Amino acid sequence: MLRLRLPTPALVTLLLLQVITMVVMFGWYRHGLPASTSSPAQGKVHVLLLSSWRSGSSFLGQVFSQHPSVFYLMEPAWHVWVTLRMPGARGLRMAVRDSLHQVLRCDLSVMDSYLPPQPNVSQLFMWSHSRALCSPPACPLTPRNTFSNETECKKRCDAQGLARAEEACRSYSHVVLKETRVFELESLYPLLRDPTLDLRIVHLVRDPRAVWRSRDQSANALARDNALVLEQGEAKGPEAQYRVMQEVCRSHVRMHETALLKPPDFLRGRYKMVRYEDVVRDPLGQIDAIYQFTGLEMTPRLQEWIYRITHGKGKGTKKEAFQITSRNAEDVSRAWRTTLPYEKVRRIQEICKGAMSLLGYRTVDSDKEQRQLDMDVLSPREPFQFSWLPSKTTKHSTKV
């Protein structure tokens, strides 16, 4: 019989080596995404917050914008859409993609095609909602680690040229862009493959019935975008609204399936879907998870601010379509159940059936059910859920 005999010092050395290897590998593992360990992105993280209109993305956008490590811009592709207009969303897709790509790299020269010559910072869409554009080096008004006041910023932070905005962008560890004008993920593949970017995609979705109610309230503000979504010169009236809604729901399904069912390697681990309703129910928990996914640190000050902004008074009767105000987010998110006629609800459920079942929004089957607020229409949603209960038992547990 062969007996392997090792002198004690050799054994100790071997053990030590093993421990070191484990520690090193655990370190790699903890830092997660392989691309960020040695990528030329140099530790900089790029985030696309993709969403649709009226889905709470202004709110989630602020959660990024007010973070001291974030340079945030809203809707760079708004400029592409209003400048180029026709033929429609699909025809503008690559122009949208290329502007997002450049802006993520802090190159605002791409805006040259979409802004007047010698533009002011104030010509960037919703510029004053970006805390970074109200802070040094873009503007002396707001120290980086304080919350910005949009009204004050608008008054005091306009500047000629985009050079300081670019400089500001380069000085942050995170660049975050909010965008509602992306309807699929495939056009973004070159960004995901770009070794100079460390891109993470946060995909925010919301119950289509709540989206409908909110869209109803800001119909005029959305008319121009609707025409582009439908690739038509005119998109007025309720039928057009339903068709836009259908496109939005389709895009949710498409993006979700691309990212989770058959993701290419470079997309794996870089996509996170977020339901607005989950954020509203547990703002701190959900936002903590979103920060972790994007490598941002939660601070007590941010926690306090998030709590305040999600638990304010009032139902949010907003005059301005993109204002975010402190209001009781949970009330606002349920308002469709008491204000929308069931006929409309039924129609939306029909149009968005696939998306609703995929994303975990339960349908209501009558006017009575719709108004019965203790009936929860949100299914718990875990990624890669396993169901080991017999389907008979799960079938009865519609109410949570």
Binding site for ligand NAG (CB under 6 A): 120, 122, 149, 151-152, 158-160
CB 175 within 8 A of CB 106: yes
CB of 76 to ligand NAG, least distance (A): 20
Nearer to ligand NAG, 39 or 120 (CB): 120
CB of 162 to ligand NAG, least distance (A): 11
Residue among 95, 201, 71, 43 nearest 144 (CA)? 71
Nearer to ligand NAG, 191 or 324 (CB): 324
Nearer to ligand NAG, 86 or 163 (CB): 163
Q: Which residues contact 199 (CB under 8 A, 6 or more apart)?
A: 46, 47, 48, 104, 188, 191, 192, 270
CA distances from 370 to 215, 336, 379 (A): 19, 9, 16
Nearer to ligand NAG, 161 or 233 (CB): 161
Nearer to ligand NAG, 122 or 217 (CB): 122
CB of 160 to ligand NAG, least distance (A): 5
Length of the chain as a residue count: 400
CA distances from 231 to 82, 89, 138, 187, 243 (A): 14, 7, 38, 18, 11
Structure tokens at 256: 């979700």
Cα distance between residue 320 and residue 344, in whole Å: 25
CB of 340 to ligand NAG, least distance (A): 31
Cα distance between residue 131 and residue 67, in whole Å: 8
User: Residue 41's Cα: distance from chain center in Å?
Assistant: 21
CB of 156 to ligand NAG, least distance (A): 9
Cα distance between residue 75 and residue 197, in whole Å: 19
Residue among 193, 202, 183, 212 nearest 278 (CA)? 202
Nearer to ligand NAG, 91 or 312 (CB): 312
Question: Maximum distance among all alpha carbons in the chain?
Answer: 88
Residue among 341, 361, 186 nearest 275 (CA)? 361
Nearer to ligand NAG, 116 or 237 (CB): 116
Structure tokens at 240: 């057009």
Structure tokens at 316: 């949010």
Nearer to ligand NAG, 152 or 350 (CB): 152
Structure tokens at 332: 């606002």
CB of 169 to ligand NAG, least distance (A): 19
CB of 146 to ligand NAG, least distance (A): 11
Residue among 156, 162, 135, 124 nearest 70 (CA)? 135
Strands 174-179 and 70-74: parallel
CB of 154 to ligand NAG, least distance (A): 9
CB of 268 to ligand NAG, least distance (A): 40
Nearer to ligand NAG, 158 or 288 (CB): 158
